[in-house]
Structure formats: structure tokens, C-alpha cells
Amino acid sequence: MPITVGHDSSETRKTLTSGAQSVDYYSIEAATAAGLGDFSKLPAALKVVLENMLRFEDGKTVTTDDIRAFAEWAEKGGKNPREIAYRPARVLLQDFTGVPAVVDLAAMRDAIISLGGDAEKINPLNPVDLVIDHSVMIDEFGNPRAFQMNVDREYERNMERYTFLKWGQKAFNNFRVVPPGTGICHQVNLEYLAQTVWTDTDQDGKEVAYPDTLVGTDSHTTMVNGAAVLGWGVGGIEAEAAMLGQPISMLIPEVVGFELTGTMMEGTTGTDLVLKVVEMLREKGVVSKFVEFFGEGLDRLPLADRATIANMAPEYGATCGFFPIDKETLRYLTNTGRDKDRVALVEAYAKANGMWRDESYAPVYSDTLHLDMSTIVPAISGPKRPQDYIALTEAASAFGAYIKGQRPEPSARDSEQDEMTAEGGAPAPHHIPGDIGHHNVAAVKGEDYKLHDGSIVIASITSCTNTSNPYVMIGAGLVARKARERGLTRKPWVKTSLAPGSQVVSAYLEAAELQEDLDAIGFNLVGYGCTTCIGNSGPIQKELSDAIAEGDLIATSVLSGNRNFEGRISPDVRANYLASPPLVVAYALAGDMNIDIAKDPLGQDQDGNDVYLKDIWPTSKEIADLVEETVTRDSFQEKYADVFKGDDKWRGVETTDSKTYNWPPTSTYVQNPPYFKDMGKEPGVITNIENASVLAILGDMITTDHISPAGSFKDTTPAGQYLIERQVPQREFNSYGSRRGNHEVMMRGTFANIRIKNEMLDNVEGGYTKGPDGAQTSIYDAAMAYQDAGTPLVIFGGEQYGAGSSRDWAAKGTALLGVKAVIAESFERIHRSNLVGMGVIPFEFTGDDTRKSLGLTGDETVSISGLDTIKPLQEVPCTIVMGDGSSREITLKCRIDTAIEIEYIEHGGVLHYVLRNLAQAA
């Protein structure tokens, strides 16, 4: 399908010749010559957005004043928050968020027919790629059969979803599916899909070159910014609107420049660097801002390390972390198998349009930071947030301090447990170094060891963040090789796994003969996809789980992922640490967070000699030589040659050719959602909120994992009960993430994270609240009771409400529970947008007001006026009637940020807005 551009202006549209290629492009230099402003000092990241304005300028959606605003941005020192309409080139989905997106498109086809329109109007206008990567779970590990057994189990669990996605691939134009077992969407995007500079024909049949841009339904879409592709995560509903041709409404962002200088020291990794970057940027505060990396340090920073830093943008809170095009970009594109004419075009285009980074690159930034990379030391982050940076030399003491905070007083039970023995004879205890007074201990039935606070029960090389980086993956393999040579292996209580982000990783690990070493110490291949980092860690050994529960232990995990929020990794694990793949291997050997692996022995060799981390840590040269030898252009081209075909299992999935989906009434995975039920042809009006009850009062840093968990759930939960009532046995529950195509499950899972704390209740974790009768009940049951009574609901929260994954179900579930408003101290960008997209209004406290200063208990009723005449970012009055009958008048800032968002709320959500427009156009 040809791209549509706003105009064919001779003033800004020029021709570029690269080798035998001749393409048109929209010239920023020509825009300056045409009198639209001086854009020479704009950061490259913002020039990408400016080019988008030039290409789609039509005098209506995009005007010349919008273009001039970018020159004013530079003149004003990097600030000019004008609302603009931005159109990304393509959309990237993964299956957890992609399935509900395709469900919504299928539901919209039904809805447009009911409005008298044509089902074919509901079709992606921009290219859409969906990569199935979130469904593999680590049931089997530590043996050669693990990969195939996990894949087989994946198909057993998810056949309904895969049948539906295959229908979507046939039914919708411009929509491709990358089958299971291929890789993680961000790594597939970085290694294959992304082009840095895109080309396509316009409506006049002319070839046009333009920057590769995208949005994705996963927050780590930002990873591809490492290859100078501007992209970020959005909610599924916003992505669906983009698919259907709706521009993304955004403010021209501030761009924070992050200068990197110096050279990484021997023994450090890109992971160590990114953990420091996350800490610094979180402290700086970059929410809703672009971060662009610059400085002479980039000359020595491989693209794999850049991608690792860009990947973690959601963790440091930025919209994206961008690296301009330079020689390293070209080297990576060439080495990963991109067409050589395309690589030449990338260079020519970047230089012609002012997007090339060299020693003369010196743009204006809104603000700057600086980091000398020679100061980086080995590090981890945890136990609950990615920004909780800990130098490796301080990791054991920091964990001890954390434990003391969790276990403030030793109990008699501690000493009793220290005497417990495992069945079958006296144990060889898993000793805790130093004072164990504050530790709980429990024996493991049938085993010859004990667990205690700090026992590492999961060590996983996982996620897009690090498995995309051959330097840290080869490094992990070399640590495994050297450990194996010394006779070390994982501790028996550690569940180890290796889940690469693409098949290319396996190709170079095997070429380097390192996979054999990883296998030998338990890091067998378990699948290609997101696993432990999204909660798909699978069950740990039952005896370990029982011991953890019996001893109320703070078990730990160490993973090479990007998220370590409470309740995310495993229901058995309360402290989670992010680390580089080589350190994950080292911690698996140690088996204990209390051990100072920087100086204490990891174990003993065959002769009884202590083995230290320094003994098995590879040199930078060893790693670089193996990367150079084994990470080849041929391997990328071979592994991606048939990327959309899949294996025999995928090719055997059968589906229909119908334009609309025949919703299986008994399916517990895919159901027609109720969003468009009884929808009229005309929008409504925004009404004031009157006498709303409080569903929950939540604290700071409530993540989308807290609001809409992705992991496993028990039969005692509302979601579990729903499935039990439909004769689904518990072993077939799968996960919340896999059931996002069924609103009935997801409503019941909203605010159901096992670690979420509702401040309306004392000392209670999990998805509970007070119902209309004041009694404790589940969030879901209370919400349904309030709906039956016709009572609107509000949620109160603290700072950074909705941090984390770009999870549309965190907003969809909130809306379906009957919540009309969320009132918080601050919002993370994506979740705020998702709430608006689902018709839920976000509000922020003003002045010194907070949930705590107001003394809220949940017994209040809330009324918010001024909404019938609302303007973007307007302050409105709110009346809170307290439980004792007294009332408080406060002022709230309405976080409907733009004019188009007001229309979304009037329509009931962005999809309703798009659907009505398409129905009228039909």
C-alpha cells in the first residue's frame, strides 16, 4: 500500500542520489532556505520529527506554523511544547499486547457493520508486524529437552490465540505475524525489520526516502533507537489508532543531551553502563522527554551497547533514548545482513538531511548530563526497581540492609529453624555468611540443604535488553566455560535458564562452542522469547516453593532483564536483581545474595581450592575476538531468510478466510469485548463526576504490573474462579498475559497483583478493597457491586502512577471496572495516554495536596465539576465528602493534555472516535 504524504512542495522536496538509487526526500536544509526557520541546531532525534512534519504538511493536520515551532524550540533553548500530529512509519506488536489489539480490530469490524459501514474500512494503513514472543514459559529447564518441551507446551496452551492471529494475518492487509520460537520482537526489529532509513512509493508512484520510525505495544520498543530508528512504546489502543491512520497527538518534547566520554574499563559490561545511566536519568527526571546520547565516547560504544541503553528508556522514564546515525550504525547494518544499497542510502540520507553524527555534531539541548565511562564499575540493580543501582562490591551488604528492613527483629523461630533438618538425614546446610540473626531459614523436604533469606532460586539469562548484545552473551558463555573447567556448577536450588532474543544468538554461541559450556552448568536453551523478565519464569521445584512459604523466606532471583517490580518475576520470589549475563552465571554458581561475589569464593575446584569471580571472568579482548569471529553477516541472513514461515507446528495451524471473526462462544482466550456495545453514531458529552466512591487508594510507583499483572494466578482469585467455572483445570490457566484477548479474565485480574497494597485496608496484600457494605472483598467483586448500584468509582494514587510496561489492559481493566477518574500525584506517560484512550480521565493533585495530606481512608465520596467545559490541562474543583460527613474542597489538574484528547473522551475513547469517523467516511 503506498504511503500518503501531505504535499509535493517543490520548496522542501528534493532528490537524492546514492549509487544507482535516486529517491525523493523532504529536505530540512530546504525548509530553512524557504524561510521556515533555522533548524541547523536541532538534535537529530528532533530532526526526525521535523521531517515528519515536512512530509505530512497539509495546512490542516500539520501546518507551517507547526514546522516553524521547531525553529522556535532551538531559539528558546530547547523548549516549545506545541501540540503536533505525528505519523510513525510502522507499528510493532508482541502477542501479549498484540492479541488484544487484533481482538479490538476484529470487534471494530463487527461494530462498523452495525453502524452501516464496510468491514474492509477496518484495516491497517501502516505496516504492522506482530512477533509472538511472550507466550513461552519455562516449565522445563536444565536439560537438552527443555527447548522442545517448552515449545510443545506453548502450542498446547495457546492454540486458540494462534488460530486467531493466523486469521488476522489473512483477514487484514498490511499485517504480518512472526511465528513462535523466532525471537523477541525488539531484537527481531533491531536485527531484521528496522532499516534506519525507509523507502516507499507515494500516492503518485514516486519513491520517497524518510527516517524509519515506529510505535510499538511494548514499552521496550525504544531499543531500536540504538540504531537511530525513532520509536517508543504506546498502549494497544493508541497503536490501533496509528494502524488505522490516526496521527499521534504529542507535544514537541524537550530533548536532554547525555554526553558520554571516556572508555569502559576492563571487566565492565554494557549492562553495568546502562544501570548507571538508569540511575542518573531517573534522578534527573526525564518523563515525557527525549534523551539523545552524544559525545566522543560514542566512538568506542558498539551498537549492541547502544541498543541496551536505548532499551531501558522506560526504566529511566524517557519517551526514548536516541543515538544519531554514525559510522557504527553503518557497520551494524552491514554486519546484520541489511542490503548494501540500503546501508549506502542511510549514509547519504543522514548526511544530506543533517542527521549524521561526527566530531562537528553540536546541537542545542534542553538540558545535559555527562558520564565518564571510565568510572563505570560492575553493578546490579534491585531488589524492586531498575533504578536502584548497587555497585557489585556493595551488593551483599545492601541485601543485608534490605533484609534487616524486612526482618527488624530476630525471633525465637529463627534459631529453631536453624536446627531443622531435611528428611532423609542430616543436611549439608546452605550456610549464610556472617550474622544470621535477622534471617529466616527453612529446610527443603527430601534435599540435603536449607534455604534462607537470600537464597537465589532463579538465575535467568533472559529478555531483549541483554540477549541482543553479543558482547555480554559471549561473556556469559566464557564465564560458564571457565567455571566448568574449574569444576563449578550451579547450586542445586537455582533454576537456571537461557532464553535468547533471536536464533542468531544460538548460532554464534554454538559457533564459539560456548553453548556446550552453558549447558554443562544448567543454562540450557529454554526458548526464544520473553520469559523470566515478564513473569514467565514457570514454577520452581515444589519442595522449594513449600520451603519458601513455610519459612516466610525472602527468596531472590537474578536476571539479565529490565524489570524487577514486586510480584513480576515469580510468586515465590520477593527480591529481584538485574545484572549482566556473565553476573547471572556467577550468581547461579554462588546461589546466595548474601555472598559478596566480588571478593568471596564462588565455590571450590576439583582440588578443593577456592575459586573467585576474577578467576573465571574473561578479558575484554577474549570477548571481542570471539564476537569478531562468530557474529557474522551470513548468520543473520541465514536465520532471517524464512522469518515469517515458522516451524511445522505453526504451518499446521488452520483458520478461516472470513472478513469478520467467528467468535467461539466457549473460548476462554478470545472473546468479543464490550467496548462498542450499544454504541450510537454520534459522540456524547463529557459530564461531571458526582458522588463517586473510592475503589482503591494506592501508593507511589504503582506500576502497570500492579494494575494488570501478566504472570500466573491461582484458582482462589476471581480470574481463577471464572476459569474453574468453565471447567479449565489450574494447570491450563496459563497466565494473565496470555489471556488478554478475554476481557472477562482481564477485568478480574485488574488491580490483582499479589503485592499490591490498597491503603484502605491494613496489612493486606493483593487485589482487595472494601465493598459498598464496608466489608473486605476483591476489587472485582466490589466494582461489580458498585456498577449494579450505578455508583461511579475513582482511584487515588501517589507519584509515577502507571510506571512500567505499555500495557493497555491496565487502562482497559480500569475502565471496565467502572472507574471514571484516577487522581494521582503524577503519571507515567504511556499509562496516562492509555487512560484517556479508554475514556478514563486522569487528574493530578495541585499544591501540597496528596492522598496522605488529605487523610483519605476510602470512606469518602468524590465529586469533580468543570468537566462539561473542560480545556486541555485545565484545573477543576473537586469536593471530597469525608467519612464523618465533613467536606474538603481541593483543586485538581485535569491531565487531558491536548484538544484531540478531549474529543477522545467525548467519544468514549480513541477507538470509538476512529470507528465513528470511518463509519461516516464509508
**What totals of helices (H) and strands (E) does the chain contain, helices first?**
32, 34
| C-beta atoms surrounding 278 within 10 Å | 26
**CA distance linking residue 496 with residue 138, whole number of Å:** 10
Q: Kindly state whether residue 28 falls inside one of the protein's structural domains.
A: no
Task: Give bridge partners of residue 183 from the DSSP assignment.
Answer: 502
The residue among 585, 579, 594 whose CA lies nearest residue 617 is 585
Contacts for 867 with CB less than 8 Å, ≥ 6 apart? 686, 687, 688, 689, 841, 876, 894
522: left (phi over 0), alpha (psi -120 to 50) or beta: left
Pairwise CA distance, residues 249 & 246, whole Å = 9
C-alpha cell at 795: 482511584
CA-CA distance, 277 to 307, in Å (whole number)? 13
Hey, what's the cell of 794? 475513582
What is the distance between the terminal CA atoms of the chain, rounded to a whole angstrom?
19
- In this structure, the strands spanning 175-178 and 128-131 are parallel
Residue 37 inside a domain? The answer is: no
Which CATH number is 302's domain given? 3.30.499.10
Domain match, 146 and 134 both: yes
- Do 392 and 413 reside in the same domain of the chain? yes
Helix (H) or strand (E) holding 109: helix 95-114
Last residue of one domain, picked from the residues 602, 631, 660: 631
Q: Is 15 helix (H, G, I), strand (E, B) or coil?
A: strand
Rg (the chain; Cα; Å): 27
Model pLDDT, residue 346: 98
Q: Which of 586, 636, 538 is nearest to 190 (CA)?
A: 636
Residues 6+ apart with CB under 8 A from 750: 707, 708, 767, 779, 780, 809, 810, 813, 814, 816, 817
In a domain, 660, yes or no: no
CB 457 within 8 A of CB 556: yes
Q: Which amino acid is at 134?
A: H
C-alpha to C-alpha distance for 252 and 811, rounded to whole angstroms: 25
182 grid coordinates: 523466532
- Please indicate, yes or no, whether residues 161 and 297 belong to a single structural domain of this protein: yes
Q: Which of 360, 375, 390 is the last residue of a domain?
A: 375
State how far the Cα of 603 lies from the Cα of 598, in Å rounded to an integer.
13
b/e burial code for range 575-589 (CB count within 10 A of at least 16 → b): bbbbbbbbbbbbbbb
- Supply the pLDDT for residue 406: 87
As a whole number of angstroms, the distance between CA 623 and CA 904 comes to 52
Single-letter residue type at 40: S
Tell me how far apart the alpha carbons of residues 803 and 724 are, in angstroms, rounded to a whole number.
32
Query: Measured between alpha carbons, how far is residue 300 from residues 110, 373, 519, 617 in Å?
Result: 54, 10, 32, 22
- Residues with Cβ < 8 Å from 788, sequence gap 6 or more? none
**Burial level of 868, CB count in 10 A (0-12/13-18/19+)?**
exposed
* Spatial contact of 387 and 581, defined as CB atoms under 8 Å apart: no
Question: Judging by beta carbons within 10 Å of its beta carbon (0-12, 13-18, 19+), is residue 336 exposed, middle or buried?
Answer: buried
d(CA 695, CA 494): 40
- Clarify whether residues 322 and 427 are in a common domain: no
Task: Write b or e for each residue in 200-234: b if 16 or more Cβ atoms lie within 10 A of its Cβ, otherwise e.
Answer: bebeeeeebbbbbbbbbbbbbbbbbbbbbbbbbbb
Q: How far apart are CA 345 and CA 268, in angstroms?
A: 35
Amino acid at 324: P
Distance (Å, rounded) from C-alpha 487 to C-alpha 521? Answer: 10
Residues 580, 462 within the same domain: yes
Under a CB-based contact definition with an 8 Å cutoff, are residues 639 and 503 in contact? yes
Q: Which residues contact 350 (CB under 8 A, 6 or more apart)?
A: 197, 228, 324, 325, 356
Cell matching residue 40: 541547523
Q: Can you tell me whether residue 451 is helix, strand or coil?
A: strand
**Mean pLDDT (the chain, rounded):** 92
- Whether the link from the prior residue into 383 is cis, omega within 30° of 0, is yes
Q: Which of 370, 327, 92, 366 is nearest to 224 (CA)?
A: 92
Cα 140 versus chain centre, distance: 25
Query: SS3 letters for 695-710?
Result: EEECCCCCEHHHHCCC
Domain stops at, among 375, 397, 421: 375
For residue 49, give every residue at least 6 positions away whose Cβ sits within 8 Å of its Cβ, in sequence order, or none.
70, 84, 86, 230, 252
| DSSP SS3 for 669 | coil
* 76, part of any domain: no
Do 403 and 343 have their domain in common? no
Task: Please identify every stretch of the chain with a pLDDT value under 70, giving residue numbers as ranges.
Answer: 1-10, 408-438, 922
Dist CA 47 CA 28 (whole Å): 8
In a domain, 210, yes or no: yes
**Separation between Cα atoms, residue 783 and residue 705, nearest integer Å:** 19
Q: Is residue 559 part of a domain?
A: yes
Instruction: Say if strands 90-94 and 213-216 run parallel, antiparallel, or are unpaired.
Output: parallel
Q: Is residue 718 part of a domain?
A: yes
- Asked whether the beta carbons of 880 and 812 are under 8 A apart, the reply is no
328 to 192, 307, 634: CA distances (angstroms): 17, 12, 19
Residues 304 and 330 in one domain: yes
What is the tally of structural domains in the chain?
A: 3
Reference 702, options 774, 763, 750; nearest CA is: 750
Look at residues 141, 225, 127, 212 and name the one whose alpha carbon lies nearest to residue 176. 127
Cell 472470513 sits on residue:
658
CA gap 38, 50 in Å, rounded: 12
Residues 792 and 891 in one domain: yes
Query: What cell numbers appear for 830 in the block?
Result: 504511556
Q: For residue 663, tell me if it sits in a domain.
A: no
Is the same domain home to 201 and 240? yes
Assess whether 265 and 318 both reside in one domain: yes
Q: What are phi and psi of 23, to 5 degrees?
A: -135, 155
Beta bridge partners of 578: 381, 559
Q: Give the domain CATH number at 846.
A: 3.20.19.10
pTM of the predicted model as reported, rounded to 2 decimal places: 0.84
- For residues 540 and 532, give the distance between their C-alpha atoms in angstroms, rounded to a whole number: 12
Cβ atoms of 711 and 567 closer than 8 Å: yes
Report the DSSP beta bridge partners of residue 452: 441
Say if residue 453 is in the same domain as residue 385.
yes
Q: Which domain holds residue 365?
A: 90-375
Q: 3-state DSSP call for residue 167? A: helix
Residues 728 and 850 in one domain: yes
The grid cell for 266 is 576492563
* Residue 911: Cβ within 10 Å count: 28
The C-alpha cell of 791 is what?
455508583
Cα distances (Å, whole numbers) of residue 718 to 695, 713, 715, 732: 16, 10, 8, 16
Give yes or no for a contact between 722 and 753, defined as CB atoms under 8 angstroms apart: no
